[in-house]
Every structure is written in C-alpha cells, then in structure tokens.
C-alpha cells in the first residue's frame, strides 16, 4: 500500500513563513497544519514558496510555533493531563500586551485550540478580581459617572460585598 502522501510531506517538508522584520521561520509541515489559515493557503500554492505573515512579530511567531510544535508532538504521546499542565505554564508569565498580540495572531492564523486557551487564560486573570483591579490589568479608563457606578454597585451589592464595598464607599465619600 502506497504511503499517504500527506504523511510523507509531514515528515520531510518545511514551510517557510516570512514575518514582519523579514525573518524566515521554517516549520515542519505538520506544525504548520495546526493553522487552518496556513492549511488553506498551502493547499492552493503548495509548500515551495514562502508564506508572508508581515503583521506578526518574531516574538509572537516564536510562541505560536512553540505551541503548535508541542501539540503536534503531544498528540499521541503525552497524556491529556500533562498537556494541560504544559498549556498553563506556556502562558503563565506572559504580560498583558504579549497575550493580546498572541490572541490576534492566533485569530489571524486560525488556530482554534490556542485561541480558546488564551481566552481561558485571560478569563482566569479576571476571575475574582475587583472592578478596579480589572481596569488596571487591561488598562481601562473608568468612564462611568459616580451615579452610574453607584447604580451598578447597588443593584449588584452581593457581588461587591466581598471587595469590602463599605470601605470603598467610605473612600469615595472622603474624596468628595
């Protein structure tokens, strides 16, 4: 029986990705196939040329390749539990800006499991945080008027009680 041509390609082909500063990333075919976008692009053009990804920086591309390479390898060899642990470590200490750049790149390259993982990580960072802490993390200006804020907190007093809402109320009053 003839070997599946895709499998043969997976072992031997490299895909060339040219990124924002004109650096070339060479990745294995199987790794590149983790990206739906690359999969579609390459099925049309073949693997001879170079795929331009001018809008992704080398730092981000390195992370994407790291993730995809690990998951290709892990597919049949590493337990689900260990993969989950690796996933947590992978994103653990990334700063907010990198995380967001990563999410944009992943969306562009259409890598669903990485996209979900990043969204889950962002959600983990906002769980159990106060509104003020969330603003700091994501660099958000508080554009609510004092009346609007009062209305929201009053309606959802139960959610803010853990924050020590009475203390915050005290501060707001003092600041006049």
Contacts with another protein by CB under 8 A lie at: 20, 55-57, 59, 96-98, 100-101, 103-105, 107-108, 115-116, 119-120, 122-124, 126-131, 134-135, 138-144, 148-149, 152-153, 155-156, 158-160, 162-163
Q: Which two tokens stand for residue 102?
A: 């990563």
Instruction: For residues 18 and 28, give the distance between their C-alpha atoms in angstroms, rounded to a whole number.
Output: 14
Q: Rounded to the nearest whole angstrom, what is the least distance from the CB of residue 29 to another protein in the complex?
A: 25
Q: Exposed, middle or buried, 42 (CB in 10 Å: 0-12/13-18/19+)?
A: buried
Instruction: For residues 70 and 165, give the distance between their C-alpha atoms in angstroms, rounded to a whole number.
Output: 45
Q: Rounded to the nearest whole angstrom, what is the least distance from the CB of residue 125 to another protein in the complex?
A: 9
Residue with Cβ nearer another protein (77 or 141): 141
Q: Rounded to the nearest whole angstrom, what is the least distance from the CB of residue 22 to another protein in the complex?
A: 13
CA-nearest of 19, 48, 47, 54 to 32 is 47
Look at the chain and count its residues: 176
Residue with Cβ nearer another protein (77 or 139): 139
Distance of CA 161 to the CA centre of its chain: 32
Residue with Cβ nearer another protein (59 or 170): 59
Q: Rounded to the nearest whole angstrom, what is the least distance from the CB of residue 120 to another protein in the complex?
A: 5
């Amino acid at each position: 029986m003839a070997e599946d041509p895709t499998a043969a390609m997976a072992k031997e082909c490299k895909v060339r990705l040219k990124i924002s500063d004109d650096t070339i990333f060479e990745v294995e075919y199987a790794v590149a196939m983790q990206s739906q976008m690359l999969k579609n692009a390459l099925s049309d053009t073949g693997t001879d040329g170079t795929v331009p990804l001018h809008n992704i920086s080398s730092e981000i591309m390195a992370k994407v390749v790291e993730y995809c390479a690990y998951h290709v390898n892990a597919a049949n060899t590493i337990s689900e539990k260990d993969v989950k642990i690796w996933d947590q470590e992978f994103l653990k200490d990334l700063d907010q800006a990198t995380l967001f750049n990563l999410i944009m790149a992943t969306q562009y390259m259409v890598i669903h499991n990485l996209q979900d993982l990043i969204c889950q990580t962002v959600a983990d960072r906002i769980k159990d945080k106060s509104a003020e802490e969330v603003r700091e993390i994501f660099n958000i200006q508080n554009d609510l008027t004092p009346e609007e804020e009062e209305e929201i907190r009053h309606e959802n007093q139960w959610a803010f009680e853990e924050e020590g809402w009475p203390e915050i109320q005290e501060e707001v009053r003092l600041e006049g």
